[in-house]
Each structure stands twice: as structure tokens, then as C-alpha cells.
Structure 1
């Protein structure tokens, strides 16, 4: 069983090999600190694992097996934000625990994890205490020795200080402690983690030269040509962001973190939509099979998400009903119905992420980015290609809206509005992808599409909710329960849908105004912003 600890810390080192001669500066009086308690020393022995090509290190992830101290075991550290990581712990074992291997699968794929560096640390720990004895932070003074357990390399030694917040501390304390430490001659650590510094400082000469060349290339980038970006360059950047999002969200989905499934599903939809919208840039003969797999993954991710959205909508509507309008065991019936619809879906999703089909998809996405299947417009200037793609998607959306507005109320209109919703998403994602080149007009179009998508999404959620309420009413009736409340909720959903349908023509008239489309097709107004959002 793995446990998770949120780690908020900063690291410091001395300008020379050792720490200041007087040790730590006096930290009493810093923020709320009134005393510093010595908590003793420990010797820690950790072996860090990675793939041969350092996939974990590249993404700021560390995996270690550590003995000594009060938290011996396997530790996986995943970045959350600057100076913030989630440390996921598992008991000691001879091999990497299965729970941690799953969290690494999107990065590691089929590559082997092997020990790359061993770090021995002599640690002295002190706690910063408030007046009431609350522990605000822990400070570890570390003397570190690193070497490589196999292959060429050298030994490295250094000293560093880690300041880690506890539940009683806050960022203001970290800032105040940092000011005191910098004033004592320390500086922020040159590496984000001990493992990163150990790999750097123990590297053989050939590896250090290769790393230096890679860093120089990253900093310099491609020499400027003065030529406008091609359509392929713009679209591949967008696709790369979405592929990276799927890879990075995979561990969060496995950990069931809030909104992670939804965000991963959105990334898959953005990818699939962009591949279809920009078929003149990337050959659909090659990308259509990939789009089918992305559709499959989005559907698998949607099992839990759709049930969650539907249940929340019905619960909210039920809570708004006066008690006299919900006779019978309505809440119990709804709870039973919800559990039946979610039973096993979480387990199924993890099985999907552990499956070969998902792994093949990840590898195919990497191949798409590194060796894109170019179509006829790939090398043309982006400002000539992207506006046409966005315009095509907009015209397609306009056709669906016209069909929906012409359809009589009922099933046919519901279907037409659902198709319009999907077309609005596609147009929105096409505009997002084009924004680095088309600028403000693309940003404004994406915003208008989001507004339309929300209206149509609320309508479609109501359609699904009415189907669920009919199901609930039938179950309640069969069990001899009063089904009146489900009828009331159904009628309210029907009224809400009618309101949305009446709002659509005015909203569409605003969205389809010719000024914005003219700005898009002119290819002017570029800025450097990036699009976000997510439904």
C-alpha cells in the first residue's frame, strides 16, 4: 500500500564545498519561530532508479529505495509546482513496488528501470517551533556522498540544507527563512534534487560533454531564418502540448486526483479534433487510425466522468425540491442507482491504463510528433493554412445549428443540438491551435465557442438526466415506491432545456457576426498567448 506526503521544501548550498563555519544562522525571531529544537542525526542510504535515457530525470521525477531514518522504503516524487512535490511511499522490497511502477508507466513504457546512482547522506535535523510548540518547519543539514553503482563515473561530495514546511508552516515562513540563509552566505541549490546533482557531478567526461552540448542547443534553439512559421510547426506545437498533458496526467488519474480524468479526456479530444481539423497539414490516411484510438481512450475516461456529472446534476436538483415534493426513499434510491452505475468503473479504468492498447497509443503519439505524416499544406505559411481550417470548421458548425433550429422540438432537435455541441468543440479546439499565429481573433472565437458549448452542453446534460430520471422512476414504481419526485425533476429538466433552446438563436446571432470571421481569414492580430480551458 502506498502513502502520499505533500512535500514543500527549498534547498540551499554553500558557495564552497562546506556549510558556513558557524553552521546554521540563528533562526529564532524569523516569522513565528521562537525556538529551534535539535531532533538528532541519521544516516540515509538511497539508490536512485531511472531508465538508461533518464526519462524520469527529464521530467523532474525521482524514484529511490532508501534505508535509514524513520521513513525507510521506496519513494516516488512527482512534481506539483515549484518547490512542491508529492512523495508517494511504499514499503521496502527488492524490486520496484507495483503501485509505483503503475504511476511511472506513461513515462517509462517498456524501458527497464535500473539503479543509476547511490547517495549516502549524514543528516542532522532541527525543527522550527512556534510559541505554542507547533512545528512550523524542519531543517535538515546534509553531508552528501554520491557514486554510481555500476559503469564509469566518479564520486561527488557536497553539503546542502533542506527547509521543509510542516502542517503548521506557510510560504511566508519559507521566504523569511530563505532571506536569513542567503544572508548567511548560502545560495539556492544548483540542482532541483540530490539525484539530479549526483547524476551531474558523477558523470564521466563523455557524458558531461554530451549534456553540455544538449544544453547549449536547448538554449540556442534553431537559428532564426526570418521566415514565417509553417502550418506544421504551429500544429505540432499544439499537438505536443496535448501529448505531454496525457503523459503527465496519467499518474494523477491513477491516484484519482480531482479533475484529472476530465483534463486527460480533454487532452485526448483536443488531439483528435486537431488531427481532423488540420487534415491538410497532417495526412489523415496516417492519423485517422490514431484518431480512432484517441476516441476509444476518451470513451474509457468518460465512464466515471459522465456518471459523476449526471449524479451531481440530479443530486443538486433533488436538493432544491421542497420536502413535500419528494415523498418516499428518493435519496436512498438515488444512492443505490449511483453505486450500480459506478461499480467497477474505477477498476476498469486502471486496467485500461495498464493495458497494451493504451501503451501502443502513447508510443504512436510520440511517433506522430517526432516523424509527422506531412500532407500537402504542411510546409506552407501558417497564416495561409490555419484560417482556412478554422473557417471550414465554423461552416460545419453553422450547418448543424441551422439543422437544429429548423427541427421540431423533441428527439430530432435533441440529436441535432448534440451534433452542434460536438462541432462547437471542434471549432474551439481548431481556434486554440491556431492562436499562436492568428492571435486575438482566434482567442475571441475560442471564447465564443466556449459560451456556445456551455449552453449546448447544459442542454445535452438535461437530455441524459431525463433518461436517467425515467429509469429511476421505473425502478421506484417496480419496488412499490412513490415515483412523484422523479416526475417533478423530469418536468424541471424539460423546462430548463426549453429555456436553453430559446436562448440559442440570440447567442448564435452574436457568435456568427461577420467581423470576427473576417479578422480570422485575414490572418492578422497574432499575439504570443496560449489557449487554455477545458470542458
Structure 2
């Protein structure tokens, strides 16, 4: 589930104000008796979780005492996952797996224990539904002997069933009363400030230090070619690894129409493509093994993603013509067969992500994002060095299309169109990688290639779907499913014909001289 909360630092004599003025009409405010919570936080010796904005705790006295909180792109919004189990049994295996990309195989051990006296003030709707909760926490940090090592007080406001406006109004009340909002600093990170270095690692790692996974940060002025390579690697690695927990949880990406599986697979593909495009600038003994491991992972993710696409396409194609409705029962039976395939494919993804091979890959990717191994020639100015590296994927694409847009045979086999699609994707990735250096012409070419790739992707999806509907109906021996499959195939092949008719104009827009002159 998603947890949305705000934190406030307050002095010891702070008094929570009356919340009723901002309660919605008919709502009420209830204050609960104080409760005592004792939580132990787990991390690696060098605090990899804390530095990544992740927390893993066991909190005594709760039905599901084990909880992992994972960051999102929005400050104050985190994924929260809880599990049952006693502390003596150790961290539940699925929660250990959930933090794989952060811990990367390092042992997890207790690093901080806190005792909290919490008083809750709850805003409830007229029907009793919880809208928001204000928690007034007095926190004592305990050392290994259970003695107080430090104390602090904070107030948390957590949004439950209420809207964002209620959160804003509560914020106004609290800040007017003297609460200070600011950076979102989790309790255990504040607690670690009071723990002696020996308890958090021999080197006394800063829990508020930089995470191991280096995020993309943009290019410097007058970048060298190596700066562009480094930024491209960081973008792809960041996309790949940050979506790992969502793939394991099988939850959507917040605020996005793209699935986590899709994002993770794209990260693999883009990094493989970038390493290929920039091969003359990187150490081959470093990049080749990495590309091979990425190919393995992309293959596993791809099998599951392909079924995900097919399931969405089945419903969309079946409902495409309201005047020619299809047998809903037969569509459901085809979908059930796809669902079974999807579960098998996702089980293979789960197995791959649990493997030592994947853990080793995550470690290699984090190191790659931190410092790609570059050749001396990568020190050359990017504007001078990079355009020539993009020429190769561009020329391969133009060769696969032909001398002009008509060179791509409208009656040619689906497989050839699919090969052109792959070349278009590689060319687009390469152009995207250098657009920040080349400028407007490269950005416009990347946009035009995105349209080309979208068309060719639609072609491939329709062609694969048509074959799949026939395969499913044949395997089922179901006459009703066979009839529906036949009608679905007609619609998919109509899409194929439409894409082939639209492709020449899309290609002409991409191949205009003012967009490609910098490549020639």
C-alpha cells in the first residue's frame, strides 16, 4: 500500500492544536490514549537502506510487526509492506528480497532501537471512516544495553481516506502552532544520529549520506563524451533498479500508465543499446559481460511483459467495434488462458530476481552507475566525438528501410518489419543519448523516431496477437473461442495493413535533411 505522510519537528512543550476547525462537515476528531511502541530497525553495516531512503523494522505488539517502507518519486509518499512473524525468526524472506537492489546481498542486522510514546488524534468522517491521523511521538533512542542514548519529539500527519486538501489544512494548523516542517527525515535516521559508530558500522557510515545508486543529474556545460556515456548509464540503471520492488510486489507505478515490468525491461534494453552505441568509448572487458547479463534479464522480463501486453490488447481489440460485439464468455476464456501463461512467466521473473546471478548483476549495475569504465578517448569533447557514433545505428536503420519509404515492402513478411522495428529502437536510443549535446535537430529526430517506433511497435503487437489468438483457440478446442479468435485476427490484420500504409509518411518526417544533417 501507499503511505502518504508529513513530518514536523516540534519543541518539547509543543501542544497539538484543536483539529476540529479543519474537519470536514459532519466529521469528528477523536484523541486516543497514549501507546508505547518499541521498534528495532535493520540495515547493512554501511547503512545502505537508510542512505537509500528505505526502512526495515520490527515493531513489537502489532499483528504484522515486520514493515518495509520504500521511497517513491514523491517526498512523503512511500510504499509500505508489512508481514507477520516473531523477531527471533529473523526478517521474513520476502521482505529481504524486496530490498535486494538496496542491500545487494549484504547481511541485515539491527542498527537502532527506539521506544516511542505515541498519542493519536484522528479525524473521522460521520460514518466513522478514518480520514487522517496526527501522531504526536516522543521518541527515546536506546543503546545496546537498553539505556537511553538520545531523545526527540516529532509530529506525523498521515493521510488515510481524506483528500489532499485536508492534509494542507492540517499543515496550516500545525505550523501556526509552532511545528516546523522541512525535510522528510524518517525516525530511524534521526535515531541513528545518537548511536555510537560501533553500532552502525566500523567506519561510522553517515545514515544521511548519499545512496550507493547514483541518480542521473544532467550534463555539465561543455561535456566530454564520457560525461554523456555516464549520464546515459545512470538513467538506464536508475530506471531498471528503482522499479525492481514494484515488479516483485506486482503493483503499478504511481502516477504512470506504464507498468513496473515495462519500465524495468526498458531499462535493460536502453542500457544494452547505449553500451553498444558507445562501445568505442568504454572498456570492452567491462561492457561485454554486463551486456550479456542484461540480455539474460531482459529475456526473462520480456516473456512476462509480452503476456501483459497481450492481455491488455485482447480486451481492447475485442471492444474495438461496439457494432460488432464478440462473445464475452469466449473472450473471458481466451483471457483465462493468457492469465495462466502470465502467472508462469511472472513466477520465472520471481525466480530470476531471487537468484545469486541477479544479486551479482545489481551490484555490477550500481558500480556501473557510479563510475563506468571509460577509455581515454572518452575525454574528447562530446560534440566532436558523439555524432559519428550515432551514425552506425542510423545507417543500419536506413539500410533496413531502403532507399526511400517505399523501400520497406508493404507486402513483406512480418518478421522483416519486426527487424526494422528493432533497428528503429536502437537508433532512437542512440539519438536520445546525445540529444542533450547535439541540440534541437537531434531532439526533433528523436521525436520523429518515436513516432516511427510507435507505429512499428503497433505492427509487431498486432502481428504477434493475431498468431496468439489462433494458437489459443486451437489449443482449447473450443468452437466459440475459435470463432472469436477468427474475428480478432481480422481486426489485428487490419491494424497491420493500416500501419504499413501510415509508415511511409512517418518515415519521411524522420528522414528530413534538417533533422539528420548532423549525422551526415
Asked if TM exceeds 0.5, the reply is yes
CA distance in 1 between partners of 2:465 and 2:408 (Å): 21
Equivalent position of 2:496 in the other structure:
497
Equivalent position of 2:8 in the other structure:
12
Equivalent position of 2:164 in the other structure:
171
Unaligned 5+ runs, structure 1? 216-221, 523-535
Equivalent position of 1:455 in the other structure:
455
Pick the aligned partner of 1:234 from 217, 221, 228: 228
**Partner-residue secondary structure (3-state), 1:344:** helix
Judged with a 3 Å threshold, the aligned counterparts in structure 2 of structure 1 residues 41 and 451 are, in CA distance, closer, same or farther, namely same
Equivalent position of 1:74 in the other structure:
66
Equivalent position of 1:429 in the other structure:
429
Q: Contact conserved, 1:32 with 1:131, CA < 8 A, in 2?
A: no
Cα offsets for 1:426-479 (capped at 9, x unmatched): 122122222332333332222111110110011111221221233245346x55
Equivalent position of 2:106 in the other structure:
111
**Partner-residue secondary structure (3-state), 1:155:** strand
1:405-424 aligned within 5 A: 405-406=406-407, 408-410=409-411, 412-424=412-424
Pick the aligned partner of 1:41 from 34, 38, 43: 34
Aligned residues: 500
**Partner-residue secondary structure (3-state), 1:161:** strand
**Partner-residue secondary structure (3-state), 1:40:** coil
CA distance in 1 between partners of 2:504 and 2:279 (Å): 31
TM-score by length of 1: 0.85
Equivalent position of 1:123 in the other structure:
118
Unaligned 5+ runs, structure 2? 211-216, 253-258
CA distance in 1 between partners of 2:58 and 2:482 (Å): 58
Judged with a 3 Å threshold, the aligned counterparts in structure 2 of structure 1 residues 38 and 325 are, in CA distance, closer, same or farther, namely closer
Q: Contact conserved, 2:51 with 2:207, CA < 8 A, in 1?
A: no
Q: Contact conserved, 2:50 with 2:208, CA < 8 A, in 1?
A: no
Equivalent position of 2:400 in the other structure:
400
1:253-272 aligned within 5 A: 253-258=247-252, 259-272=259-272
Q: CA RMSD in A?
A: 3.1
Cα offsets for 1:382-437 (capped at 9, x unmatched): 11122222233222211111189446555x54222211111111122122222332
CA distance in 1 between partners of 2:157 and 2:326 (Å): 55
CA distance in 1 between partners of 2:385 and 2:321 (Å): 53
Judged with a 3 Å threshold, the aligned counterparts in structure 2 of structure 1 residues 195 and 212 are, in CA distance, closer, same or farther, namely closer
Q: Contact conserved, 1:200 with 1:208, CA < 8 A, in 2?
A: no
Matched, 1:380 2:380: yes
Equivalent position of 1:248 in the other structure:
242
Judged with a 3 Å threshold, the aligned counterparts in structure 2 of structure 1 residues 276 and 46 are, in CA distance, closer, same or farther, namely same
Q: Contact conserved, 1:280 with 1:376, CA < 8 A, in 2?
A: no
CA distance in 2 between partners of 1:213 and 1:146 (Å): 17
Equivalent position of 1:342 in the other structure:
342
1:352-371 aligned within 5 A: 352-371=352-371
CA distance in 1 between partners of 2:55 and 2:82 (Å): 12
